[in-house]
Amino acid sequence: MNSTAMEVIKTDIPDVLIIEPRVFCDSRGYFFESFSQREFDEKVMPVRFVQDNESMSRRGVIRGLHYQRMPYSQSKLVRCVKGSVLDVAVDIRKGSPTFGRHVAVELTEENHRQLFIPRGFAHGFAVLSEYAVFQYKCDSFYSPQHDGGIQLRDGELGIDWRIPSGEAVLSEKDLGYPCLRDAIIDFDINDNLYQQMP
């Protein structure tokens, strides 16, 4: 295995990790491994991704903050393949020393970075470019009955989405989510969230 195919960069919250691939460029363009199960298992954690999703959004769109409740919680591996986004993961594990804190990382088509968001986190992103194509892997299938969400304008989270409020494009569904203090949270830092598989 090429041990330099990807670099794992730690963030301020343990287990939320930036994945930076090794990119090979020449006069024809570029090439990189966007995902290797073997290397991911070794450098991040053994996760079996079962669903890939893609969205396209215009500038100012903010999607989030989403999660799925137990037992259908999801890990996500996200990246922006066109344009740029600010990607945000919020720790919603009760009892966690970083509960309510977030990591924000700019993902762009130029930097090829990915963000790994483990179970027990809410996720969202804001589109900073004219439009963005966003892809993500999930390790649990979508279950509408287990949808959960947190109000992305929750002031206690302190998230700077880098989009002026007058330019933000939000869905009615996302606007209807409660703040973190009122949300239905069934994640606990003392639980092994990866043992509870549907």
pTM of the predicted protein model: 0.93
Closest Cα to residue 139, out of 62, 57, 45, 64? Answer: 45
Q: How far apart are CA 30 and CA 22, in angstroms?
A: 10
Structure tokens at 59: 């500038």
Backbone dihedral angles phi then psi of residue 130, each to the nearest 5 degrees? -60, -40
Q: What is the pLDDT of residue 73?
A: 94
Q: How far apart are CA 110 and CA 27, in angstroms?
A: 16
**Beta carbons within 8 Å of 46's beta carbon, 6+ residues apart:** none
Question: Can you give the pLDDT of all 198 residues of the chain as single tens digits?
Answer: 445 688 999 999 989 999 998 888 889 988 888 898 999 999 999 999 999 999 999 999 999 999 999 999 999 999 999 999 999 999 999 999 999 999 999 999 999 999 999 999 999 999 999 999 999 999 999 999 999 999 999 999 999 999 998 999 999 999 999 999 999 899 999 888 887 555
Q: What is the pLDDT of residue 172?
A: 96
Q: What architecture is the 6-182 domain classified under in CATH?
A: Sandwich (2.60)
Supply the DSSP string of the chain, one letter for each residue.
--TTSEEEEE-SSTT-EEEEE--EEETTEEE--S--HHHHHHHT------EEEEEEEETTBEEEEEEE-TTS---EEEEEEESEEEEEEEE--BT-TTTT-EEEEEEETTT--EEEE-TTEEEEEEE-SSEEEEEEEESS---GGGEEE--TT-GGG----SS-GGG-B--HHHHTPPPGGGS----BTTS-TTT---
Domain edges within the chain:
6-182
Catalytic residue annotation: 66, 136
Contact assessment for residue 136 and residue 53, using Cβ atoms and an 8 Å cutoff: yes
Q: What is the pLDDT of residue 1?
A: 42
